[in-house]
Amino acid sequence: MIDKLSSYFCRTLFGFSIILLALAVVDRFIRLFGWTLSWIAYTPSRLLEISASLLIFVIALLLRQIRENLKK
């Protein structure tokens, strides 16, 4: 049960991280033309930082799952 929950949590965080990465790239690109995404309160660099932090958390959870599977 906890394995499935952890798997869903990892997938959700990974998806959210990819969305933040895409928003950072798009926002940085349109800032080259002087436009911004007004509904985003963060700069593209901050979005990239949040995305990387989430990915590190996902990697840690996946490594924990691998360790538990190797113990079996």
Mean pLDDT of the chain: 92
Average pLDDT over residues 17-38: 93
The DSSP annotation for 41-67 comes to: -S-HHHHHHHHHHHHHHHHHHHHHHHH
Question: What pLDDT sits at residue 27?
Answer: 94
Q: Which amino acid is at 6?
A: S
> Is pLDDT of 58 > 80?
yes
| pLDDT bracket for residue 37 (50, 70, 90) | confident
Q: How far apart are alpha carbons 10 and 55 in whole angstroms? A: 9
Question: What pLDDT sits at residue 1?
Answer: 76
- Cα 27 to its chain centre, rounded Å, is 16
> Is pLDDT of 51 > 90?
yes
Q: Which amino acid is at 68?
A: E
